[in-house]
Structure 1
Amino acid sequence: MEILALAATLLVFILLLRRNLASGKRADAALNVLLAKHVFSRSSPGDRERIELHARELMAGRGQASEFIGEVDRYGWYALAMKELGIAPGVKGFKDWKAIGNPSTAIKPGDPLLRTAAYLLKSKCGIDVLVG
């Protein structure tokens, strides 16, 4: 009976740990998306073209469809492209982009963490940016 209780406790602990780690990655992805939209909107037309081209190359190299699935997907890939191109977020408190393996699956549109990240950026950095 003690072994069963120990196994159940361990299983609950593992599930909670996985959930916590997943929400951390989603929060990182949310920040990347919002910061990428902010940086991209302030970039020169030449930099925008470079970012777009590199994002599509990254997508193709990872077997993703060539079209973005909405704004969250687009700016998630742009963040990854900017990281690889050496374009920093340039926002106080954010020296580099968060490490996200696949921006298409890291966070979905409508995730509450996008609103939370937007609030954080507005209150801490004065950046007013939202994604639809």
Structure 2
Amino acid sequence: MDMEKHATRARNTWRLAGLLLVLVVAFGAQAAPPISRLPGREPDSKEPWDASLGKAAHLAIGRQYRVQHPTNVVFLDTVSLYNIVRRARLGDPQRLAEFVKLLRPDIYTRSRALLDQTG
């Protein structure tokens, strides 16, 4: 009889340990990543976390590209194709289709040497 009590107590101990482990994991897990200090991400933002992270990544890549290529004109994804064509003097931006005017490439670059030759 002593062995049965010991076995029952051991099973109950393991069940309790399992329950505690599940509770610790459940309450310790975060539903979303912590609030970011990245530009454009507000604590109460409705923007999905991955979209915000993607924007921040593009911004960081663009800034790094500008540092590595200081003589190039670099447009990041905040600039529309209409403005890129107009500011870089690549042609008549009015000829672009309306939906194309609104597109924003992640990074567009053109060397200053080429820009100086065209204008």
TM norm. shorter chain > 0.5 = no
Shorter-normalised TM range: 0.3 to 0.5
Q: Relative contact order: is structure 1 or structure 2 higher (C-alpha 8 Å, sep ≥ 6)?
A: 1
Q: What is the TM-score when the length of structure 1 is the normalising length?
A: 0.29
> Of the two, which has the highest radius of gyration?
2
Scaled by the length of structure 2, what TM-score is found?
0.32
